[in-house]
């Protein structure tokens, strides 16, 4: 485990679940046009996606996403929302 990983608020179990969830998602689309599709979700939506596997507190999800350089943007109604790119 790297020193950066030790700074995460996630337990090993939470990190394993988050790593699996984000294994098909990236913080940017990069050079993968046509392979990646933009996905926007709130922290609550991500938490709901993970709930059948493990209840993870919102602060842990936010910490993980910031640590992995995911960006918050404003949704159409001004709500902060996470921008990510998912494999098709």
DSSP 63-87: HHHHHTT-EEEE-TTS-EEEEEEEE
Instruction: Tell me whether strands 71-74 and 25-26 are parallel, antiparallel or unpaired.
Output: unpaired
Q: At residue 71, does pLDDT exceed 80? A: yes
Query: For residues 45 and 81, what is the distance between their CA atoms, to the nearest angstrom?
Result: 10
Q: Residue 1 — very low, low, confident or very high, per pLDDT cuts 50/70/90? A: very low
Least confident of 1-15, 50-64, 68-82: 1-15
Q: What is the pTM of this model?
A: 0.86
């Amino acid at each position: 485990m790297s020193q950066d990983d030790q700074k995460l608020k996630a337990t090993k179990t939470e990190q394993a679940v988050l790593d699996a969830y984000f294994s098909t998602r990236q913080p940017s689309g990069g050079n993968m046009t046509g392979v990646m599709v933009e996905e926007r979700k709130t922290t609550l939506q991500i938490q709901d996606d993970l709930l059948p596997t493990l209840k993870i507190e919102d602060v842990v999800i936010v910490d993980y996403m910031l640590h992995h350089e995911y960006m918050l943007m404003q949704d159409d109604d001004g709500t902060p929302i996470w921008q990510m790119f998912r494999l098709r």
